[in-house]
């Protein structure tokens, strides 16, 4: 009988830390999902929606609707995969306290203002960024076509930022 109590006590002692660890991991994943959703995926959502609408803008409406529906379905699947995968990685790499600290940063009004400025497609920040990225992508496209140094007039010239 004593042996039975000892065995049961040992089993309970070994199970409690595992359950606590599982609860903490679930909490970490939940906080990480909230972070990923309001940061990485928010940006992805906006970018994808804009790109999708640019893609279908010249299509007949019936074809555009079909493309939207199919693209949105695939996007939703990939978005969920990203949410699950990235959240799990963050939960493994950060403590619950770290994740909550990050959550506080993202909820800070100054950070939210910073993000809003960066998310505004009409902001000067985006105009500058898009000009630089376009130039870099064009350079890579030309390089991939076989030219190591693209034969573009004024290629070596410093890029001029748009004036206000």
- Going from N- to C-terminal start, the domains of the chain cover 2-119, 120-164
Rounded distance between C-alpha atoms, residue 85 and residue 22, angstroms: 17
Can you point out the beta strands (E) in the chain? none
Residue 77's pLDDT is 95
Report the candidate in 87, 92, 102, 98 with the shortest Cα–Cα distance to residue 21: 92
Residue 4 has pLDDT above 80, yes or no: no
Q: Name the more confident of 26 and 5.
A: 26
Instruction: Look at 43-52, 122-131, 148-157 and tell me which has the smallest mean pLDDT.
Output: 148-157
Rounded distance between C-alpha atoms, residue 19 and residue 32, angstroms: 20
Residue 158: partners with Cβ closer than 8 Å, 6 or more residues away: none
**Residue that the structure tokens 């007039």 belong to:** 153
Residue 129's pLDDT is 85
Rounded distance between C-alpha atoms, residue 19 and residue 25, angstroms: 10
> What's the chain's average pLDDT?
83
Residue 8's pLDDT is 59
Which one-letter DSSP state was computed for residue 62? H
Mean pLDDT of the 16-36 span: 81
- To the nearest whole percent, how much of the chain has pLDDT over 70? 76
Residue 100: partners with Cβ closer than 8 Å, 6 or more residues away: 31
Report pLDDT digits (tens) over 120-145. 778 888 788 888 888 888 888 888 88
Mean pLDDT of the 34-59 span: 88
Mean pLDDT of the 7-19 span: 57
Tell me the helix, strand and coil percentages in the chain, rounded to 5: 80, 0, 20
Q: Name the more confident of 6 and 43.
A: 43
Report pLDDT digits (tens) over 50-75. 889 988 999 999 999 999 999 999 99
């Amino acid at each position: 009988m004593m042996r039975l109590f000892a065995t049961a006590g040992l089993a309970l002692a070994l199970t409690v830390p595992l359950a606590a660890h599982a609860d903490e991991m679930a909490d970490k994943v939940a906080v990480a999902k909230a972070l990923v959703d309001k940061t990485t995926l928010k940006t992805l959502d906006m970018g994808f929606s804009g790109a999708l609408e640019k893609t279908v803008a010249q299509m007949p409406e019936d074809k555009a609707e079909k493309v939207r529906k199919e693209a949105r379905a695939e996007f939703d699947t990939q978005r969920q995969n990203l949410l699950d995968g990235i959240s799990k990685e963050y939960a493994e790499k950060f403590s619950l306290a770290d994740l909550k600290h990050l959550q506080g940063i993202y909820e800070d009004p100054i950070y939210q203002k910073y993000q809003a400025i960066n998310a505004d497609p009409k902001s000067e920040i985006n105009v500058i960024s898009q000009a630089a990225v376009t130039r870099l992508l064009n350079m890579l496209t030309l390089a991939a076509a076989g030219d190591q140094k693209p034969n573009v007039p004024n290629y070596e010239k410093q890029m001029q930022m748009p004036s206000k």
